[in-house]
A and B are shown apart, each in its own frame.
Chain A
Amino acid sequence: MNPETLEASPEALAARVPDGAMVALPPDNSLPSVALAKALIRRGARGLRLLGVPVSGFATDILIGAGCVAEVQTSAVSLGEAGFAPRFTAALKEGRITVRDATCPAIHTMLQAAEKGVPFMPLRGLIGSDILANRPDWRVIDNPFAGGGDPVVLLPALSPDFALIHAAMADREGNVWLGRRRECATIAHAAKATFVTVERLHDGNLLEDERLAPGTISATYISGIALAPRGAQPVALLDEYGVDAGFIAEYARAARTEEGFQAWLARHVTEQHEEALA
């Protein structure tokens, strides 16, 4: 591994994410790095522009609640069975964040354009939706390959500054393995830098194992790795651990108020870490 790739901790990776950066996160069922979100909160990050690929969940809500976020571009923000995301909703109401609503396949398509290095890609649907009406950066053209009269939406390539992912393992070459969650590869391909927290290090080269290689993102795309056991919690990691629905429901209740959220944050993000370091 490039000696700069493996960092000592999620805090060291978070220190490399500057204020104001555009940060892409997968949704709760697709391996967001909650460990890195917590490290960003502890470092006091400000002005982050979050991108939900294609929707946002727990990590986004705690980052918003902690005041780290200026803008969210996403197709939905939800805590799943625990309901609406309370800090997102409060921040939107109070005008503390800018929300750029999208629709799931549009976010995938903008990243796929970036991954291909083309300036834009077309996508069907969307015409007649107010999402399109509120996105001056999305255009409608007449399909040049049809005989006319076939409007189609064009979406610009989108290259986030950082993608933050939690994976099962990394090898010493800097490759990371995340099983069937290969959609994370598109985020990594499109992002300028990808930081990955992992449960453990793998002996041997993931790309030399025919059964592991398809679930591996090549080190080509990975700029930083740190060990963070249980780093996706409270959301799930593949078949390794499930979602902690009780924990998320408790969060959703606590975060209904600013005071409740701050108490939750102190208990689960700030103080917990100080205790671990002590």
Chain B
Amino acid sequence: MSGPEIKPEERLAATLARLILDPAAPPARHIAVGAASPIPAAACWLVKKSGHPVRLSLLHKRSGNPFTEGSRELFDLTGQGRIDLFFLGGGQIDGQANINLIGTGEWPGTGARFPGSFGSAFMYMMTPRTILFREEHSPRVLVEKVDNISAPGLSAPGVFRRGTAQALVTGRAVFRFDPARGRFALESAHPGEDVASIRAATGFDYDEPAHLPATPDPTPEQLALLRGPVRDEMIETYPEFCARVFGAAEKKDAAA
């Protein structure tokens, strides 16, 4: 390949884009992306710049923010079922797709305190699908059981919810979530990882295929989009991320 080598962030963005476009999942017509999520934001822009019609509501984009009633409007839209896909992370994520944004130890996080739950206790249940994303893939993040549940991966029968986790993407691997079984299955491992390294870095039990595929590289077309038009859309909101991942600023016409 002639261009600079593929950055892990670029592979993650392409991986998330593939999951967004998964034909087996409910359609993603309107995606919201929350705070401090440059890689999910890049994935959404990649989907859009690839020509797929999708409405993106990027909550931390200062200019062109779509909401005139702030995050209240996001939650009202989601309550109605008009946001199709959201991304959530977690200080801890467990094998039943519960997420903990509160902290470790006793309530409210007497061990390590995390920032708090944001809108997760609502978004996870009211969005038809959620992609869980956390770059750190270690036994302290991916735990058997979270210390505190900010938002549950599964709900008791009769409790209204539109969907749950579609997948969990980390810096090492991709897992699919099966809500019927309440269990993750390893789908692919990123370059440099194998069955044993993923098992060693994961604190919860999961299913594993007989042959573990490698997470695909972004295509040359995807890389060109990420390094050009996607970068241009993201530079205002995530200047440090863009400089680190996509390199120093180029003139727009030079990239085109």
Contacts and interface: CB of A to CB of B under 8 A. Distances in A.
Contacts of A29: 60, 62
Interface stretch (A40-48, A178-186, A255-263): A178-186
Interface residues of B, number: 49
B152 interface: yes
A242 interface: yes
A248 B19 CA distance: 35
Contact of B158 (A103, A126, A151, A180): A151
A197 interface: no
Interface in A79-102: 80-81, 84-85, 89, 92-93, 99, 101-102
Contacts of B69: 182-183, 186
Contacts of B150: 103, 129-131
A102 B122 CA distance: 11
A128 B155 contact: yes
B136 interface: no
Interface stretch (A70-78, A169-177, A200-208, A266-274): A70-78
A228 interface: no
Interface string A102-142: 11111010000000000000011111111110100000000
B8 interface: no
B214 to A, nearest CB: 32
B102 A124 contact: no
A108 B108 contact: no
Interface in A180-219: 180-184, 186, 214
Nearest to B114: A84
A125 B158 contact: no
Contacts of B72: 54, 105, 108, 183, 186
A105 B240 contact: no
Contact of B119 (A54, A84, A130, A134): A54
A80 B114 CA distance: 13
B101 interface: yes
A78 B121 contact: no
Given A30-B70, A104-B71, A126 B122 contact: yes
A61 to B, nearest CB: 11
Given A76-B101, A80-B36, A124 B160 contact: yes
Contacts, number: 144
Contacts of A102: 117
A180 B108 contact: no
A131 B121 contact: yes
A152 B75 CA distance: 16
Contacts of B117: 75-76, 101-103, 129, 131
B200 interface: no
User: How big is chain A's contact interface, by range?
Assistant: 35 or more
A127 to B, nearest CB: 5
Contacts of B161: 125
Contacts of B52: none
A80 B35 CA distance: 7
A236 B149 contact: no
Most chain B beta-carbon neighbours within 10 Å: one of A101, A152, A181, A236? A101
A154 interface: no
A84 B115 contact: yes
A239 interface: yes
Nearest to B65: A180
Contact of A104 (B62, B118, B124): B118
B222 interface: no
B149 A128 contact: yes
A244 interface: no
A188 B16 CA distance: 39
Contacts of A181: 70
A190 B118 CA distance: 21
B68 interface: yes
B71 A183 contact: yes
B250 interface: no
Contact of B120 (A74, A103, A183, A236): A103
A55 interface: yes
Contacts of A99: 108
A250 interface: no
B159 interface: yes
Nearest to A79: B115
Given A106-B122, A242-B62, A129 B152 contact: yes
Contacts of A125: 121-126, 161
A250 to B, nearest CB: 15
Given A103-B120, A182-B70, A184-B70, 15 more contacts: A75-B116, A78-B36, A84-B115, A103-B118, A103-B121, A103-B122, A124-B160, A125-B122, A127-B156, A128-B156, A129-B151, A130-B107, A132-B121, A186-B72, A214-B68
8 contacts: A76-B117, A78-B35, A78-B115, A103-B117, A105-B119, A128-B149, A130-B107, A183-B70
Q: What 3 A-B pairs have minimum CB-CB distances, sorted nearest first? A: A76-B116, A183-B70, A128-B152
